[in-house]
Amino acid sequence: MNEGRKEIIQIAFVLIGVIFLVKLFFIQVLDDRYDKLAYSNAILREVDYPVRGLIKDRNGKLIVYNTPEFDLQIIHKEVKTLDSAKFCEVFSMTPEELRSKFKELKLKREYSPVKLTTFLTQLSTLDFARIQDNIDEFQGFYIQARTTRAYRAQAAANAIGYVSEISKQKLENDKTGIYKQGDYIGQSGIEAYYEQYLRGQRGVRFKLRNVDGVEKGSFRNGAIDTLSIPGQDITSTIDLDLQSYGELLLKGKAGSIIAIEPATGEILAMVSGPSYDPTLLTGRHYSSNFVLINNDTNKPLFNRPLMAQYRPGSIFKIAQAMVALQEGVITEETRIRCDRSVINCHGPHSNEDLRGAITHSCNPYFYGVLRRMLNQGKSNSPFDDTRIGLEEWSKHISSFGFGKRLGIDLPNEKGGLVPDPGYYDRAYGGRPWKFSNIYSIAIGEGENMVVPLQMANFAATIANKGYYITPHLVKSIGDSGKPLPQYLEKHFTTIDSTYFRVAADAMQRVVEEGTGSYRAKLKDIVVCGKTGSVQNEPRPDHSVFIAFAPKENPKIAVSVYVEFSGGGARAAASIASLMIEKYLLGATKRPQIEEYVLKGKFLH
Amino acid sequence: MSREEIISNKMDWVTVALYTTIVFLGWLNIYAVTYDPESKISIFNLTINSGRQILFIAGAFFIVMAILIIDMRFYETFAYIIYGLILFLLLLVPIIGKEVGGNKAWLGIGSFGVQPSEFAKFATALAVAKYIGSVGFRMDQLRNQVVLFVMIGVPMGLILLQKDTGTALVFTAFTVVFFREGMSPFLIISGIIAAIIFVLTLLVNEYYLFTGIGMILIIAIVMGKKKLKRILLLVGAAIAICGIIVSVDYVITDVLKPHQQNRVKALINPDADPLGFGWNVTQSKIAIGSGGFFGKGFLQGTQTKFNFVPEQSTDFIFCTIGEEHGWLGSLFIMALFIALILRVIFLAERQKNRFARVYGYSVACIFFFHFAVNIGMTIGLFPVIGIPLPFFSYGGSGLWGFTILLFILLKLDVHRMQVLQRI
CA nearest neighbour of A294 among A164, A415, A142: A164
Beta-carbon separation of A9 and B176 below 8 A: yes
A6 vs B contacts (CB less than 8 Å): 180, 345, 349
**Preferred mutation among B286, B300, B305 to probe A, highest tally of A CBs within 10 A:** B286
**A140 Cβ contact partners less than 8 Å away, ≥ 6 residues apart:** A74, A75, A76, A77, A78, A79, A80
Are B49 and B394 contacting, i.e. CB atoms less than 8 angstroms apart? yes
Q: Which residues share a beta bridge with A542?
A: A534
User: In what helix (H) or strand (E) does residue A233 lie, and over which residues does it extend?
Assistant: none
Q: Shortest Cα distance from B214 to chain A (angstroms)?
A: 31
Q: Each residue of B266-313: pLDDT tens digit?
A: 666 555 554 455 567 777 887 888 888 888 778 766 565 545 566 677
Q: How far apart are alpha carbons B57 and B318 in whole angstroms?
A: 19
A77 vs B contacts (CB less than 8 Å): none
Q: Each residue of A241-295: pLDDT tens digit?
A: 999 999 999 988 899 999 999 999 999 999 998 888 888 888 767 778 888 888 8
Beta-carbon separation of A28 and B293 below 8 A: yes
pLDDT at A15: 92
Q: How far apart are alpha carbons B331 and B288 in whole angstroms?
A: 13
Q: Shortest Cα distance from A220 to chain B (angstroms)?
A: 9
**Preferred mutation among A1, A16, A29, A34 to probe B, highest tally of B CBs within 10 A:** A34
Q: How far apart are alpha carbons A101 and A84 in whole angstroms?
A: 12
- Residue in chain B closest to A23 (alpha carbons) equals B379
Q: Shortest Cα distance from B206 to chain A (angstroms)?
A: 28
Report the b/e string of B310-333 with b at 16+ CB within 10 A: ebbbbbbbbbbbbbbbbbebbbeb
pLDDT at A437: 87
CA dihedral defined by B237, B241, B243, B246, rounded to 10 degrees?
-170
Beta-carbon separation of B275 and A216 below 8 A: yes
**B100 Cβ contact partners less than 8 Å away, ≥ 6 residues apart:** B106, B113
**Which residues of A touch chain B, with CB atoms under 8 Å apart?**
1-2, 5-6, 9-10, 13-14, 16-17, 19-21, 23-25, 27-29, 31, 33-35, 37-39, 41-43, 45, 114-115, 177, 180, 206, 208, 216, 219, 224
**3-state DSSP assignment of residue A547:** strand
* Closest residue to A27, CB basis, from B180, B275, B285: B285
Q: Count of A–B CB contacts within 8 Å?
A: 100
B308 vs A contacts (CB less than 8 Å): 42-43, 219
* Closest residue to B286, CB basis, from A23, A37, A206: A37
Q: How far apart are alpha carbons A78 and A325 in whole angstroms?
A: 81
**Preferred mutation among B338, B342, B366 to probe A, highest tally of A CBs within 10 A:** B338
Q: Which residues share a beta bridge with A59?
A: none
**B50 Cβ contact partners less than 8 Å away, ≥ 6 residues apart:** B27, B28, B30, B31, B34, B43, B44
Quickly count: other Cβ atoms within 10 Å of residue A469's Cβ. 23
For B243, how many CA atoms within 13 A lie in the half-sphere containing its CB?
Answer: 6
Q: How far apart are alpha carbons A301 and A290 in whole angstroms?
A: 10
For the four alpha carbons of B417, B419, B421 and B423, in that order, the dihedral sign comes to negative
* Closest residue to B334, CB basis, from A9, A17, A208: A17
For A407, how many CA atoms within 13 A lie in the half-sphere containing its CB?
Answer: 12
pLDDT at A585: 92
Are A271 and A243 contacting, i.e. CB atoms less than 8 angstroms apart? yes
Beta-carbon separation of B179 and A9 below 8 A: yes
Q: Which residues share a beta bridge with A177?
A: none
Beta-carbon separation of B306 and A35 below 8 A: no
Q: How far apart are alpha carbons A238 and A259 in whole angstroms?
A: 9
For A120, how many CA atoms within 13 A lie in the half-sphere containing its CB?
Answer: 24
Q: How far apart are alpha carbons B188 and A221 in whole angstroms?
A: 43
DSSP H helical ranges for A161-285: 168-173, 189-193, 195-198, 240-249
* Closest residue to A13, CB basis, from B286, B331, B368: B368
* Closest residue to A34, CB basis, from B275, B286, B368: B286
| ipTM topping 0.90 | no
Q: Does B141 touch chain A (CB under 8 A)?
A: no
A14 vs B contacts (CB less than 8 Å): 338, 342
Beta-carbon separation of B379 and A27 below 8 A: yes
Q: Are strands A234-236 and A55-56 parallel, antiparallel or unpaired?
A: parallel
Q: Which residues share a beta bridge with A140?
A: none
Quickly count: other Cβ atoms within 10 Å of residue A82's Cβ. 15
Beta-carbon separation of A28 and B182 below 8 A: no
**A61 Cβ contact partners less than 8 Å away, ≥ 6 residues apart:** A152, A240
* Closest residue to A31, CB basis, from B38, B289, B331: B289
Q: Which amino acid is at A108?
A: K
* Closest residue to A38, CB basis, from B39, B275, B286: B286
Beta-carbon separation of B286 and A177 below 8 A: no
Quickly count: other Cβ atoms within 10 Å of residue A18's Cβ. 12
Beta-carbon separation of B289 and A45 below 8 A: no
* Closest residue to A2, CB basis, from B180, B288, B291: B180
Beta-carbon separation of B345 and A9 below 8 A: yes
A50 cis-preceded (ω within 30 degrees of 0): no
Q: Shortest Cα distance from A167 to chain B (angstroms)?
A: 17
Q: Tell me A417's DSSP state.
A: B
CA dist list (Å): B333 to B364, B382, B391: 17, 19, 12
Q: How far apart are alpha carbons A253 and A565 in whole angstroms?
A: 8
* Closest residue to A21, CB basis, from B38, B308, B331: B331
Q: How far apart are alpha carbons B25 and A291 in whole angstroms?
A: 53
Beta-carbon separation of A2 and B181 below 8 A: yes
Per-residue confidence of chain B (423 residues) as pLDDT tens digits?
A: 455 556 677 889 999 999 999 999 999 988 888 776 556 677 777 777 888 899 999 999 999 999 999 988 899 999 999 999 999 988 888 777 666 555 566 666 555 567 888 889 999 999 999 999 988 888 888 899 999 999 999 999 998 888 778 888 899 999 999 988 888 888 788 777 777 777 677 666 777 888 888 888 888 888 777 778 888 888 888 888 888 778 777 776 676 666 666 666 666 655 555 445 556 777 788 788 888 888 877 876 656 554 556 667 778 889 889 888 999 999 999 999 999 999 999 999 999 889 999 999 999 999 999 999 999 988 888 877 778 999 999 888 889 999 999 999 999 998 887 765 544
Are A53 and A233 contacting, i.e. CB atoms less than 8 angstroms apart? yes
CA nearest neighbour of A413 among A577, A266, A272, A553: A272
CA A159 to chain centroid: 4
Q: How far apart are alpha carbons B310 and B330 in whole angstroms?
A: 20
B331 vs A contacts (CB less than 8 Å): 21, 24
Q: Shortest Cα distance from B5 to chain A (angstroms)?
A: 32
**Averaged in consecutive runs of 10 residues, what is the pLDDT profile of chain A (604 residues)?**
80 91 88 66 71 90 85 80 82 84 78 75 69 79 80 85 86 79 86 91 72 56 76 93 93 92 95 87 78 84 91 91 92 89 82 88 91 88 90 94 93 92 90 88 88 96 95 91 91 93 92 79 90 85 92 94 84 92 91 87 64
* Closest residue to B182, CB basis, from A2, A206, A216: A2
CA nearest neighbour of A315 among A544, A551, A557, A566: A544
pLDDT at B174: 93
pLDDT at B96: 75
User: In what helix (H) or strand (E) does residue A540 lie, and over which residues does it extend?
Assistant: strand A539-549
Count of helices and strands (H, E) across chain A:
23, 20
Quote the strand ranges of A406-538, DSSP E: 467-469, 474-477, 490-492, 528-536
Q: Which residues share a beta bridge with A258?
A: A270, A559
Residues of chain B numbered 343-372 and touching chain A (CB < 8 Å): 345, 349, 364, 368, 372
B364 vs A contacts (CB less than 8 Å): 13
Are A434 and A382 contacting, i.e. CB atoms less than 8 angstroms apart? yes
Quickly count: other Cβ atoms within 10 Å of residue A130's Cβ. 14
Quickly count: other Cβ atoms within 10 Å of residue A378's Cβ. 11
Q: Tell me A526's DSSP state.
A: -
pLDDT at A468: 95
